[in-house]
Structure 1
Amino acid sequence: MMEAFNQSKRIKKLLKEGRGQGAGKDYKPWTTISDFSSRGRASRAFGIKTKRIHHLQSDNQLRFFLICEWNSNVLDIRESYPLLDVMEVIDNKENLRFDKFCDKETGEQLVICTNFLLTVKEPDGNEKLIARTVKNTSELNKKITLEKLEIERRYWMQKGVEWKLITEKQLPRQVCKNIEWIRETLLEGGVADKESMTHVLLTYLLNNMETPIKELLKEFDKSEGVADGMGLYLFRYLIAKKDIKVNMTEKINLSQKARDILL
């Protein structure tokens, strides 16, 4: 995403605000939803890992964010990361059309952002940065999009950071729907003594593998004297914590027996 700001003054103001700086809960994206009057399918999402609000500019960005949150190896998620030093970093500027990414009135260079900069944990325990740009395949027909992607590619290559393009084809919708269904249970508050209650529910599940999940959860609510739906909430929480495993690529069918859902 490129931001057509009145450059010098605007950029100094944003930098003073901390935009594009920090990490974890202290990171501030270069672009926030409130910067623009209308962003279509833009959304805000509270980060379970980062403990801050993420500003996502499309449904595909939201889906990518959800998948990153679900991935245990992703430690930090920074969206709308500005390539403020792009002109200094890229040595080989041959055929790069920077002139297309300039303010039409002032002629100054626009700020180019990479959608996501992630901190990930490698198998050996070390951490590294990877950059990801999320685009719909329909956008790849536009020459200006391809030119911007080439700028990003060369920038991150020069930085020694792995960069890849992600399209909707790598963002399975059912997985994202399942993550959305369970992730709110990880937010603070809502249920007292959640940990001990989930331990009780887990015992129910393991001892009643031939019972349909829906019936088992109703029986749990009744026998434990809790509000209707508590068993379902705790079941979602067990999945969210990865204390139990289910096939996230399929819709979770509560009519199935426990042995047919739990992996």
Structure 2
Amino acid sequence: MAKSEWTETKYRRFLTEGRGQGVGKEYIPWTKTHEFSSKGRATRILGIKTGRIHHLHSDLQLRAFLIIEWSEKVIDIRESFPLIDVKTVIDDHEELRFDKFCNKETGDQMVITTNFLLTVKNTDGNENHIARTVKNSTELTRKITLEKLEIERRYWFTKGVEWKVITDKQLPRQLAKNIEWVRDTLLDQERDGMEKEQLSAILHKYLLGNSDIGLRELLRQFDKTEGVPKGTGLYLFRYLIAKKEIRIDMNTAIDFSKKVSGLLL
């Protein structure tokens, strides 16, 4: 959303619409893709854990979302979380340049957001919140970026919430690519659910019982032996990874010529 477009009227409307409120499926992000102007490519993606559409404003945010959602610790993801009460939460406003984030014509203050507010489950079973801001490493040399990050840092510190900046260097492309490749099988409503479960269980046995065979050949044999359409074994292989019933190194490209024993962890 361009700064010049921001008004007090729009702020009130967002609050009335419930922006930045709710959890899980009921959460509504402060900014949505169709109303946000950015240099990156915007994406709307259905969340597996939340069951709602997430609004992401750049490829890097998408990469971060995929990796965050993949984590077994994360149970809820709230993107574009607004720091509506930032000026009342932060007592020390010294050197904070809120004036940089307002409509220059009207003086209306824009709402600063943090990219992700996550609910995570600790090893002891307790839930807590952590906040994450996503930035390209090249952006960290810009003064206005650092000024916004300092506002976020002080806000979350005062709230007692762990906050960190994560950059492109901490978000492996191949990991995100592999996650994107397998996750769609969890959202596929076209295939018969019971049949998918039964066939994936059979493939799981194939994988464990024929670990000395190359993966490509094993999947081909599975399709032929089980009398299923070509590509079914590959689809189910993706499904087993997505469900984490089998584990592979998600940080590397999958080499289908390798023996199964060299792929499964």
Which stretch shows the higher mean deviation, 32-41 or 99-108? Answer: 32-41
Q: Aligned pair 1:55/2:55, yes or no?
A: yes
Change (3 A) 1:133 1:241: same
What residue identity is the alignment partner of 2:47? G
**For residues 152 and 8 of structure 2, what CA distance do their matches in structure 1 show?**
22
Could you give the per-residue CA deviations for residues 34-55 of structure 1, whole angstroms, max 9, x where no partner exists? 1146654111111011111111
Tell me the equivalent position of 2:180: 180
Change (3 A) 1:151 1:199: same
- Residue 59 of structure 1, CA deviation: 1.1
5 Å-filtered alignment, 1:88-127, equals 88-127=88-127
Runs of 4+ in 1 over 6 A off after TM superposition: none
Q: Aligned pair 1:43/2:14, yes or no?
A: no
SS at match of 2:217: helix
Change (3 A) 1:15 1:178: same
SS at match of 2:112: strand
- Residue 240 of structure 1, CA deviation: 0.6
Between the aligned residues of both structures, percent identity stands at 62
Q: Aligned pair 1:8/2:43, yes or no?
A: no
TM-score when normalising by structure 1: 0.96
- Residue 152 of structure 1, CA deviation: 0.2
**Aligned-residue CA RMSD (Å):** 1.4
Which stretch shows the higher mean deviation, 145-154 or 34-43? Answer: 34-43
- Residue 4 of structure 1, CA deviation: 5.4
What residue identity is the alignment partner of 2:224? K
Change (3 A) 1:170 1:4: farther
- Residue 11 of structure 1, CA deviation: 1.0
Tell me the equivalent position of 2:208: 206
Tell me the equivalent position of 1:240: 242
What residue identity is the alignment partner of 1:168? D
- Residue 2 of structure 1, CA deviation: 8.3
SS at match of 1:164: strand
**For residues 3 and 247 of structure 2, what CA distance do their matches in structure 1 show?**
42
**For residues 7 and 25 of structure 2, what CA distance do their matches in structure 1 show?**
27
SS at match of 2:125: coil
- Residue 190 of structure 1, CA deviation: 2.7
Which 5+ residue runs of structure 2 have no aligned equivalent? none
SS at match of 1:111: coil
Could you give the per-residue CA deviations for residues 198-225 of structure 1, whole angstroms, max 9, x where no partner exists? 1000011111010101111111111111
SS at match of 2:254: coil
Could you give the per-residue CA deviations for residues 30-84 of structure 1, whole angstroms, max 9, x where no partner exists? 1111114665411111101111111111111101100011101000011000101
**For residues 206 and 3 of structure 1, what CA distance do their matches in structure 2 show?**
57
